Amino acid sequence: MEHFDVVIVGAGFAGLYALHRLRSLGFSARVYEAASGVGGTWFWNRYPGARCDVESLEYSYSFSDELEQEWQWTERYASQPEILRYLNYVADRFNLRTHIQLNTRVTAAGFDETANCWTIQTDGGSAVSAAFFILATGCLSKPKALEYKGLESFQGKWYYTGQWPHERVDFTGRRVAVIGTGSSGIQSIPVIAEQAAHLFVFQRTPNFSIPAQNRPLSGDVRQDWATNRGSYRQAARVSPFGMLVEQGTGSALAVAPEVRENEYEKRWQRGGLSMYGAFADLFVDPQANQTAAEFVRTKIRAAIRDPEVAERLLPKSYPIGTKRICSDTGYYETFNRDNVTLVDTCATPIEEITPTGLRTTAGEYHVDSIVCATGFDAITGALCHIDIQGRGGARLREKWSAGPRTYLGVATTGFPNLFMITGPGSPSVFSNMVVSIEQHVDWIGGCLAWMRDRHAAGIEPTEDAENAWVAHVNEVSGYTLFPQANSWYVGANVPGKVRVFMPYVGGVGAYREKCDAVARNGYEGFALSMARSSAA
């Protein structure tokens, strides 16, 4: 059986950088990727309007000065094709392709305690072994299947935003249904509305969305970035969300209403995710949160001509920010178009997909195409999809049946030499993910090099360290409003999934400090096993 120092699953931002970093450190590595190309999220999510909501200059790798100088982003928020081009450029620039096996899904992996290594199986029926097994499988890579019966019988075309076809989809002259108004729905709805003869938007829970204020990147902005890149990148690394959002330190309730409104207005005009940083207590104090929520609701009312439609678009059932705030271009205004109908599936739930459309409790909507913007089995979905067996044959998906348990979101007890990039219990989706990905990869690379220097063969978290970290993750999220929404952060979007708040919300900077301290203290909280020869 072929053997590698490291096998990595996934060739998105995480897998590509992990491959580059570990090979630079002298480890042999193989990447398996289920898709037919690299790019991860940006390979799969080709739906109309897809783009990032963290500014392109920040939502990109910082590990290579040369790369930073060579690549020029064209827009403040890059579109999916541009980000995919960038990741392909990275794969070529750093000679990664020969170490990546595409069209190959990892189906199972088992740890051999005697040999201290993993055997990894793929859907092609082949197996390889590796000393280390790294899961770069993505937090948002396993689309959630639509729960309604009948999709297979639908005679028109249907699509998942997270598995969009490669060929151009033209909705011209078609009656289209979009199910879902999360970030994917909110980005695609305005674009589809411009093409379709009629668009029906099936909304279950209204979302808070803020205009992206996207624009081409000006020469001045690029020049400023080129000059100050180093300090900007460093500021992002130690910031709460891994991005350069100006972070307010005071309470929303401690200032006069007009000061508060001005602050919200400033951030609305700046666009995107900047609202997250408006005041320090927005996500811990329900009353403070209400002020921001009401500000956005007022904006929604002002954008929509029909007051009844506006009322249905107002998010009221959860605090703002406890579902990811969406970033849009013309979303609310789309509902002023004559060819767009909002269908409130809370009032009239969808019952089934029929051969000709969707049936709700209020009747049938006949459509030619259905777009499922219905989200993902997030954070744990792709990890648990692989049949991973650790020490004593214990299965990861069974260990996590009451919710994921990790130490630092990077490793889990009972599964030696297994690392997760942006795993549950790390800032992951609560951050600019490229910053979090680089931090994890650098930390894992440092750990592997440290082990090699000491002839250590195995590493895994102690139970005490894991228990303490899980308790800390829960304690921190318990201070906040984040667990309150029925969001994918808690698994509430997937029927039957256990409800546990999965990301770490203690902040990217604080988390980095903790990880660095663990490494400095000889990988405190981890148990090491030595290679037989050096133990002797």
Contacts of 430 (CB under 8 A, 6+ apart): 241, 503, 504, 505, 508
Residues β-bridged to residue 360? 350, 363
By CB under 6 A, residue 32 contacts ligand FAD = yes
Count of residues interacting with ligand N01 (CB under 6 A): 26
Contacts of 178 (CB under 8 A, 6+ apart): 185, 188, 189, 192, 199, 200, 201, 202, 371, 373
Contacts of 52 (CB under 8 A, 6+ apart): 59, 77, 78, 83
**Range 264-293, binding ligand N01 (CB under 6 A):** none
Shortest distance in whole angstroms from residue 145 CB to ligand N01: 10
**Could you give the angle at the alpha carbon of 55 between the alpha carbons of 23 and 287, nearest 5°?**
120
Shortest distance in whole angstroms from residue 371 CB to ligand N01: 11
Contacts of 344 (CB under 8 A, 6+ apart): 203, 312
Shortest distance in whole angstroms from residue 134 CB to ligand FAD: 11
Shortest distance in whole angstroms from residue 126 CB to ligand N01: 32
Q: Do residues 534 and 268 lie in contact, with contact meaning Cβ atoms separated by under 8 Å? A: no
Among 8, 14, 199, 342, binds ligand FAD (CB under 6 A): 14
- Rounded distance, CA 273 to CA 250, Å? 18
By CB under 6 A, residue 325 contacts ligand FAD = no
**Range 342-361, binding ligand N01 (CB under 6 A):** 345, 350
* Residue in 497, 517, 422 with CA at minimum distance from that of residue 147: 497
Q: Do residues 372 and 360 lie in contact, with contact meaning Cβ atoms separated by under 8 Å? A: no
Shortest distance in whole angstroms from residue 32 CB to ligand N01: 23
**Tokens for 528?**
């090491």
* Residue in 390, 421, 454, 377 with CA at minimum distance from that of residue 109: 390
- Rounded distance, CA 224 to CA 222, Å? 5
Q: Do residues 242 and 436 lie in contact, with contact meaning Cβ atoms separated by under 8 Å? A: yes
DSSP state of 229: H
**Per-residue binding letters, 119-158, with ligand N01 (x by CB under 6 A):** ---------------------x------x-----------
**Per-residue binding letters, 357-386, with ligand N01 (x by CB under 6 A):** ----------------xxxx----------
Shortest distance in whole angstroms from residue 368 CB to ligand N01: 20
**Which of the choices ligand FAD, ligand N01, none does residue 205 contact, using the CB cut-off of 5 to 8 A by kind?**
ligand N01
Shortest distance in whole angstroms from residue 222 CB to ligand N01: 22
Residue 183 or 274 with smaller CB distance to ligand N01: 183
**Which of the choices ligand N01, ligand FAD, none does residue 35 contact, using the CB cut-off of 5 to 8 A by kind?**
ligand FAD
**Tokens for 325?**
């705030």
- Rounded distance, CA 325 to CA 208, Å? 6
By CB under 6 A, residue 426 contacts ligand FAD = no
Among 57, 100, 313, 386, binds ligand FAD (CB under 6 A): 386
- Rounded distance, CA 328 to CA 186, Å? 6
**Which of the choices ligand FAD, ligand N01, none does residue 345 contact, using the CB cut-off of 5 to 8 A by kind?**
ligand N01
Write down the residue that tokens 């450190």 correspond to: 25
**Range 5-34, binding ligand N01 (CB under 6 A):** none
By CB under 6 A, residue 417 contacts ligand FAD = no
Please say whether the dihedral angle defined by the alpha carbons of residues 3, 4, 9 and 11, taken in this order, is positive or negative.
Answer: negative
By CB under 6 A, residue 497 contacts ligand N01 = no
Stated length of the chain: 536
Q: Which stretch binds ligand FAD (CB under 6 A): 143-151, 361-369, 396-404, 429-437?
A: 429-437
By CB under 6 A, residue 420 contacts ligand N01 = no
Among 97, 204, 301, 399, binds ligand N01 (CB under 6 A): 204
DSSP state of 181: -
- Rounded distance, CA 331 to CA 311, Å? 15
Burial of 345 (0-12, 13-18, 19+ CB in 10 A): buried
**Which of the choices ligand FAD, ligand N01, none does residue 14 contact, using the CB cut-off of 5 to 8 A by kind?**
ligand FAD
Write down the residue that tokens 């690379």 correspond to: 445
**Which of the choices ligand FAD, ligand N01, none does residue 488 contact, using the CB cut-off of 5 to 8 A by kind?**
ligand N01
Shortest distance in whole angstroms from residue 80 CB to ligand FAD: 7
Shortest distance in whole angstroms from residue 41 CB to ligand FAD: 4
Shortest distance in whole angstroms from residue 357 CB to ligand FAD: 26
**Range 110-169, binding ligand FAD (CB under 6 A):** 136-141
Q: Do residues 106 and 134 lie in contact, with contact meaning Cβ atoms separated by under 8 Å? A: no
Shortest distance in whole angstroms from residue 147 CB to ligand N01: 5
By CB under 6 A, residue 53 contacts ligand N01 = yes
Write out the residues near ligand FAD by the rule CB under 6 A.
Answer: 9-15, 32-35, 40-41, 43, 45, 50, 52-54, 59, 105-106, 136-141, 184, 382, 386, 421-422, 432-433, 437
Write out the residues near ligand N01 by the rule CB under 6 A.
Answer: 52-53, 140, 147, 161, 179-185, 187, 204-205, 324, 327, 345, 350, 373-376, 429, 488, 493
